[in-house]
């Protein structure tokens, strides 16, 4: 698939070149594209009526994940390993006795275990409070638009600042996303959907003739410094937290799971956990 980063505002080109240096320093393959090279890669994008692209970056090795299928694969893997998945059972309270978590209370059932992991996304902070931990996690709404056309209009994911276009092989294209501090309100709004469509259709004009198949919104767990919190609660030796991944939760979920498993079974984590510790 690959990914292209484009600037369209004053100052963004310089910032993009700084990003290129960071990518290269981390060993990520990055290519700088001239306007003509960009036109060859993505002719529909290069025909945009917006301001000409003064610079663009291409990351040929970047991939994409289709969220529902990723979740289906995780569920299938869990069931293959005899993991019991209990849906529609939101945890309301954590029972703590003698410096240990002994149970998680849902509306119709209490769950007991030897060890617990709190990974409740945007809803983590109230439960963290019951554990005597404050991580400063709060929900940020992101609204999305899904287009459908007869044929794919892009071959790369395209990023412009915090917004993006993600093409699917079946002609669908995802445009996102907003960042709104509105509490736990998951409703779509006409104003923000219109703004998303304006962004998408100015960047890729053929989208104006495509069908809008769906819109939706979700809540991302935003942390104080942008890094997730992963680790054991210091004063509760059998309780762990993984929260605050914000916009990185989907593609870092397998790695987060590996780290948690290592911590929970007493193994040394495979990476330095300093930046993810709870008490940073």
Please indicate, yes or no, whether residues 161 and 256 belong to a single structural domain of this protein: no
- CA 274 – CA 228 distance, rounded (Å): 11
- CA 62 – CA 43 distance, rounded (Å): 20
Chain CA centroid to CA 137, Å: 15
Phi, psi of 155, rounded to the nearest 5 degrees: -110, -10
Instruction: Look up the pTM and report it.
Output: 0.90
Please indicate, yes or no, whether residues 79 and 21 belong to a single structural domain of this protein: no
Cα separations in angstroms, 29 against 23, 32, 61, 157, 278: 7, 10, 7, 16, 33
Beta strand pairing call for 211-222 and 138-148? antiparallel
Per the structure, the count of domains in the chain is 2
> What tens digit of pLDDT does each residue of 150-185 get?
999 999 999 998 899 999 989 999 999 999 999 999
**Helix, strand or coil, per DSSP, at residue 269:** coil
Please indicate, yes or no, whether residues 45 and 149 belong to a single structural domain of this protein: yes
Long-range contacts of 190-194 (CB under 8 A, 24+ apart): 192/143, 193/143, 193/145
Q: Retrieve residue 176's tokens.
A: 């996102």
Residue 51 in this model has a pLDDT that exceeds 90 = no
> What tens digit of pLDDT does each residue of 100-115 get?
999 999 999 999 999 9
Per-residue pLDDT, 46: 66
Question: What is the residue range of 78's domain?
Answer: 68-128+226-276
The answer to whether the peptide bond before residue 177 is cis (omega within 30 degrees of 0) is: yes
Please check whether residue 75 lies inside any domain of the structure.
yes
Please check whether residue 212 lies inside any domain of the structure.
yes
């Amino acid at each position: 698939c690959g990914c292209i980063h484009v600037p369209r505002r004053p100052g963004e080109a310089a910032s993009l070149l700084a990003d290129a240096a960071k990518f290269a320093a981390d060993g990520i393959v990055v290519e700088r594209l001239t306007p003509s090279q960009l036109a060859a890669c993505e002719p529909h994008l290069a025909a945009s009526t917006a301001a000409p692209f003064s610079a663009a970056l291409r990351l040929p090795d970047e991939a994409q994940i289709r969220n529902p299928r990723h979740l289906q694969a995780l569920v299938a893997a869990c069931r293959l390993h005899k993991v019991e998945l209990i849906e529609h059972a939101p945890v309301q309270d954590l029972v703590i006795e003698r410096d240990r978590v002994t149970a998680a209370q849902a509306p119709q059932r209490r769950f007991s275990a030897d060890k617990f992991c709190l990974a409740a996304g945007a809803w983590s902070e109230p439960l963290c409070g019951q554990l005597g931990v404050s991580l400063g996690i709060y929900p940020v709404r992101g609204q999305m638009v899904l287009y459908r056309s007869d044929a794919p209009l892009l071959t790369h994911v395209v990023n412009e600042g915090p917004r993006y276009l993600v093409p699917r092989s079946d002609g669908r294209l995802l445009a996102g996303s907003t960042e709104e501090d509105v509490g736990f309100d998951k409703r779509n709004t006409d104003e923000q959907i219109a703004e998303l469509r304006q962004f998408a259709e100015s960047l890729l004009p053929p989208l104006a003739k495509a069908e809008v198949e769906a819109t939706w919104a979700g809540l991302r767990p935003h942390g104080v410094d942008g890094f997730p919190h992963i680790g054991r609660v210091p004063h509760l030796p059998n309780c762990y937290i993984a929260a605050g991944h914000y916009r990185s939760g989907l593609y870092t979920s397998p790695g987060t799971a590996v780290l948690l498993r290592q911590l929970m079974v007493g193994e040394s984590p495979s990476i330095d956990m300093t930046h993810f510790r709870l008490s940073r």
